Chain A
Amino acid sequence: MTEEALVRQLKEGDKTSFDLLYEKYKNMALHTAYLITGDLPGSEDVVQDTFVKVWLHCRELKEDSGFKAWMMQILVRTAYRSGKKKSRELPDEEILQKADKGQSFSSMEQVIAREEAEIIAGAVRALPIKQRTVVVLYYYQEYKISEIAAMLGVLEGTVKSRLHTARKMLRGSLTSDPGMIVREPV
Chain B
Amino acid sequence: MRERENWKEKIKNVLALECDGVTASRDLKDRIDRQILESQKEAGNMKKFSMKKLVIGVAAGCLLVSGGVFATGHAVSLSTHSFLPNAYRSYSDLGKAERELGYTADAVESFSNGYEFERMIVDEWQGEDETGNAVYTFKQLDITYGRKGEEKVSLTAEKPVETPVRDRAPGAVRQVGDITLYYDVTTFKFVPPDYQLTEEDQANLERDDFTISYGSDEVQIQQSSHVTWNKDGISYQIFGFDLSLSADEMFDMAEEVMGTK
Contact = CB atoms under 8 A, between A and B. Distances in A.
Of B8, B36, B84, most buried by chain A (CB within 10 Å of CB) is B36
Instruction: Name the prevailing secondary structure of the B interface residues.
Output: helix
Of A15, A101, A102, most buried by chain B (CB within 10 Å of CB) is A15
B168 to A, nearest CB: 38
Nearest to B121: A15
B107 interface: no
A13 B84 contact: yes
Contacts of B93: 16
Interface stretch (B27-35, B190-198, B206-214): B27-35
Nearest to B85: A13
The contact size tier of chain B is 35 or more
A52 B39 contact: yes
Nearest to A40: B22
Interface residues of A, number: 37
Interface string A1-34: 0000000010011111001001000110011001
A22 B29 contact: yes
A22 B15 contact: no
Interface string B57-95: 000000000000000000000000000111111100100
Given A51-B32, A117-B13, 15 more contacts: A12-B85, A16-B88, A16-B93, A26-B29, A27-B22, A35-B18, A47-B32, A48-B28, A52-B32, A52-B35, A52-B39, A56-B39, A124-B15, A139-B12, A183-B3
Contacts of B41: none
Contact of B24 (A15, A44, A183): A44
A36 B3 CA distance: 25
Interface in A74-120: 98, 101-102, 117, 120
Contacts of A47: 24, 28, 32
Contacts of A19: 29
A34 B72 CA distance: 53
A142 interface: yes
B18 to A, nearest CB: 5
A135 interface: yes
B86 A48 contact: no
A81 B160 CA distance: 46
A121 B14 contact: yes
B20 to A, nearest CB: 7
B36 to A, nearest CB: 5
